[in-house]
Structure 1
């Protein structure tokens, strides 16, 4: 449907409001990575057990993923701005309490509260963008800024953490979020519109529990399988999560106002955008975990050098997100999706060709092609997701987008990561030195780091270390080939399911403001 000529342009208020909602998105992403450098100091002061330390790191991401659908639906009911401000207040309080935690148990609890509060940010901010920007090109650019904020936040997390830890104590990594949330609380009521669905029914508690249990179980099961291989507990939890998910979907079909409107998947553009978004997350996370290890353990870069080598990825991803609206204007949403996915596939192929002595340049070139190709796909894909859904369900639709990203990332680590490490073990096994203790052999086959450690204890470990590096490189190449195949499959699907002009002019009707907005 062509864009109406009368679609109002955004004013200065909307653009300043965009900056205000982009900042908490940056902090949300930063909190996923900023903590890692503080773990030694936390361990020294709070003396957590191994299990507690694991939960300090993981519980934030688990609860963000688990509560996304609930928060997206809740925002449609009580008001998207109200939910965003409530989440910002909770995030600020939890950050302060986490910074001054006196025990590991308290820190785990505060990280859990941060996860619940963080789950309000993505669906509320993305659905508010639909309310604020009615012109399609301005809306696409706003979504590009929104995605770039997440990319920048994830990239600068370790850098910010390192700078804070150099001058302050470990709690400072949490306090960095507080000024941003306070700014949102002060300016949000003045700059951001309010919207809620006046016809929304009551929140269905059973649906909330089913969606929460399904997502948490699937994420936990995938993570455990990625860490421990074919693990009975991980598989049992994963299957339980899938069963809960099936119960959740079945329940939605019979509710007058469902948590998730499953009829959205009957819209080809919506289905194509969701599946392409999920496949890109799966392939990207699957290969990225190999790249970071390859830089340090195969190429021998220091952590700082490895971090610098990944900067082009973040810079190009940000640039691609901001250029996506201009590309969509010239090519249309369908061509942007298809060509971006094909370019990303080429990036995976370049990564699969890494060979000395130019391996680093091949890897960086592959990262650049992947990020430039995937960024417009995510920008245009999110725009299609929230505009093909009815206006009153934009919060739930945006939550579904983010949930698919979380699940596909975990799936990429579990499936592609596990498949890559299986190949690593198969190819390294014949090179194990004769007479090696079974425990040492198992350690060498578990990870590349373990293999290098075992090689360091051998009288003549150079040949085994080289064999381990070669096996890992070959495994990374194989994962990159799988990634390229997924991108081409997503491109084929987008070309088949989307029509020319779809998503280029989807009108955003003027929405009724909630009372008191």
Structure 2
């Protein structure tokens, strides 16, 4: 069965797929009476397709737990540490659209196998990276190969399940791997870091991908679309390179203040982004269907989707460090304390489907963002000696709010466009997800790093090299304290923890303001769109009468 070309390989005749499992049924979608039902082999194939989804989702959260060990082992600068986290989702987001189109042309199973091979090999490279520069390069390559996995899995799934009911069930199971991966990330990461070195979080990818490479040729039929859209190399390049200087500029301005390099990088990213959008509006086969943003519901939902992921990704970045370096919990303990928040994300995502039957989305989506706002407001009260229970409540509020908002925004994105454009809408939704994950860490992490350096009051008599190491990151300060006399080490650690807590307070305040503003904007936009739809329906009823 050939798929209609789309951005992220959600077939344009099936707008029922979302990451969390919410569905929007299309009246235009009908299964032929003789559509074959999938057998046991197809369900085993589904299990195989869930493997890369789990890995990509786990990789989005597990790295945050290795940051303390990374900081001590590789001694990255604050900027390098942010790039280690950010470069993966940035490259992934920039190439999702491209790889979907490429899979149409060369074959989805072939692209999946190539991506899985590359992802496994680069995981080994990342695990044994000797310095921060090599780890950043490895993470960039993981983003490249990760982008080949996601579009291929869903496109292949659609060819395994032709019956509507079976396909919806399969897609819901496939989508649950995202939530499962997010929940497993802290636990798996914590256990590995308890027993092995930081590189183990990358090596766990290898055996899983070996299984996929062995079983995929037998369980997954090849599929391609000979009439797929032509790949535009310039659009591909622009989609990636526009984000890199933009994020670099944000980091530079946060770390050094207003500087020529930071401003120039930011402006370059904006200029390249404008060029990309202009090219898409003029192209006969665009990578990104910019015209979809003219729909108010679509635009508002994409913004809410972005902000929901932005909130929880930024929170995980600094909460994982706070638990391990400020409260001095082990990685496994830190992971267990974040489990209630991960569970809240999954639970609220599932509850959203039922809630949408009794309340309008223009109310529910802002409520989700307001829950995240409350979590961030609680984060402004943290000190160097706050209870771990406060962290648990913060993560439950932000995670639960993000789960509610993201489920409904994915559903609204697909429902707001005609069925034949659902694939393009889904691709934009996925890209907003990855950009939210990247920029949440980039912006909030940069602010945290800047406040930490500004508020850190070093004890007298420190060696200049030790002082520089302590100023870079909290992990650097902990590492530097290991070689100091007891009194000086205690003074350094107390000062570093206090400075980090100040950074968390300000970062949480910024997160709260952003989430609150987004909730207001989204609520107003969706409410206005709802009223416009009702007026149009009433006028149509009068005409018919």
TM-score range for the pair, normalised by the shorter chain length: 0.7 to 0.9
Q: State how far apart, in whole Å, the 1-side matches of 2:279 and 2:412 are.
A: 26
1:251 lines up with 2:279 in the alignment: yes
Residue in structure 1 matched with residue 56 of structure 2 by the alignment:
28
Q: C-alpha displacement at 1:379, in angstroms? A: 1.9
Q: State how far apart, in whole Å, the 1-side matches of 2:176 and 2:318 are.
A: 28
- Please, which runs of 5 or more residues in structure 1 have no aligned partner? 43-47, 506-517
126 and 333 in structure 1: CA distance in 2 versus 1, 3 angstrom threshold: farther
94 and 441 in structure 1: CA distance in 2 versus 1, 3 angstrom threshold: closer
Residue in structure 2 matched with residue 293 of structure 1 by the alignment:
321
Where in structure 2 are the equivalents of 1:323-342 lying within 5 Å?
A: 323-342=351-370
**Aligned partners of 1:34 and 1:173 also within 8 Å:** no
221 and 154 in structure 1: CA distance in 2 versus 1, 3 angstrom threshold: farther
Deviates more, 1:137-146 or 1:88-97: 137-146
1:413 lines up with 2:441 in the alignment: yes
Residue in structure 2 matched with residue 180 of structure 1 by the alignment:
212
Q: State how far apart, in whole Å, the 1-side matches of 2:398 and 2:339 are.
A: 13
Where in structure 2 are the equivalents of 1:149-188 lying within 5 Å?
A: 149-152=180-183, 154-155=185-186, 158=189, 173-180=205-212, 182-188=214-220
482 and 256 in structure 1: CA distance in 2 versus 1, 3 angstrom threshold: same
Where in structure 2 are the equivalents of 1:204-353 lying within 5 Å?
A: 204-219=232-247, 236-353=264-381
**Aligned partners of 1:351 and 1:480 also within 8 Å:** yes
Q: State how far apart, in whole Å, the 2-side matches of 1:358 and 1:176 are.
A: 39
2:118 pairs with one of 64, 83, 94 = 94
Deviates more, 1:360-369 or 1:490-499: 490-499
Q: State how far apart, in whole Å, the 2-side matches of 1:127 and 1:146 are.
A: 16
Deviates more, 1:325-334 or 1:179-188: 179-188
Q: State how far apart, in whole Å, the 2-side matches of 1:414 and 1:145 are.
A: 27
1:145 lines up with 2:176 in the alignment: yes
Q: State how far apart, in whole Å, the 1-side matches of 2:141 and 2:465 are.
A: 40
Q: State how far apart, in whole Å, the 1-side matches of 2:66 and 2:489 are.
A: 33
Q: Deviations over 1:374-415 (max 9, x none)?
A: 112122222333443454544443333333333333322232
Where in structure 2 are the equivalents of 1:62-77 lying within 5 Å?
A: 62-74=90-102
**TM-score (structure 2 length as normaliser):** 0.72
Q: C-alpha displacement at 1:418, in angstroms? A: 2.0
Residue in structure 2 matched with residue 447 of structure 1 by the alignment:
473
1:479 pairs with one of 486, 504, 507 = 507
Q: C-alpha displacement at 1:476, in angstroms? A: 0.7
Q: State how far apart, in whole Å, the 2-side matches of 1:153 and 1:104 are.
A: 24
388 and 423 in structure 1: CA distance in 2 versus 1, 3 angstrom threshold: same
**Aligned partners of 2:194 and 2:330 also within 8 Å:** no
Q: State how far apart, in whole Å, the 2-side matches of 1:412 and 1:398 are.
A: 21
Deviates more, 1:266-275 or 1:15-24: 15-24
Q: State how far apart, in whole Å, the 2-side matches of 1:205 and 1:255 are.
A: 12
Q: State how far apart, in whole Å, the 2-side matches of 1:115 and 1:204 are.
A: 20
Q: Deviations over 1:469-515 (max 9, x none)?
A: 2232122122112112222112112211114997xx9xxxxxxxxxx
**Aligned partners of 1:65 and 1:403 also within 8 Å:** yes
Q: Deviations over 1:15-70 (max 9, x none)?
A: 8776554332112233456789999x99xxxxx9999x999988655532331121
**Aligned partners of 2:122 and 2:141 also within 8 Å:** no
Aligned positions, number: 486
35 and 253 in structure 1: CA distance in 2 versus 1, 3 angstrom threshold: closer
**Aligned partners of 2:99 and 2:151 also within 8 Å:** yes
1:368 pairs with one of 385, 389, 396 = 396
- Please, which runs of 5 or more residues in structure 2 have no aligned partner? 1-23, 534-545
257 and 370 in structure 1: CA distance in 2 versus 1, 3 angstrom threshold: same
Q: State how far apart, in whole Å, the 2-side matches of 1:499 and 1:96 are.
A: 46
Q: C-alpha displacement at 1:247, in angstroms? A: 0.7
Q: C-alpha displacement at 1:4, in angstroms? A: 6.8
Where in structure 2 are the equivalents of 1:430-509 lying within 5 Å?
A: 431-434=457-460, 436=462, 439-452=465-478, 457=484, 459-460=487-488, 462-499=490-527
Q: State how far apart, in whole Å, the 2-side matches of 1:395 and 1:4 are.
A: 13
**Aligned partners of 1:99 and 1:171 also within 8 Å:** yes
Question: RMSD in angstroms over aligned alpha carbons?
Answer: 4.8
